[in-house]
Amino acid sequence: SRSTMVTVEEPPPPRDHLVWSLFTTMYGNFCCLGLLAFLFSVKSRDRKLLGDNSGALSYGSTAKCLNITALVINIVIVIIVVTVVA
């Protein structure tokens, strides 16, 4: 008799970007975007622990977008400040 083994791999859990959001909150909290990103990251981690991967993915992507927006705004502010000072 033959036996067949089927291996099903689960996709990796969604990322919550918690560390990135924490640094954005501490160092680049323009208009509270870092704080919002941190809150969405915590919600994403909570959803991931509850097993709700679609909710975790949604909150995680929102946190990522907020982090990117805060980073771009902070880079533009630094460029403006350096240009004005120089």
First to last CA, the chain: 80
Q: Name which residue leads in pLDDT, 4 or 20.
A: 20
- 23-57: per-residue pLDDT in tens? 999 988 888 899 999 999 999 999 999 989 999 99
Report the pLDDT value the prediction gives residue 39, as an integer from 0 to 100: 96
| Whether residue 8 has pLDDT greater than 90 | no
| Whether residue 1 has pLDDT greater than 80 | no
Q: Share the mean pLDDT of the chain.
A: 92
Torsion of CA 55, 24, 36, 62, to 10 degrees: -30
pTM summary value: 0.83
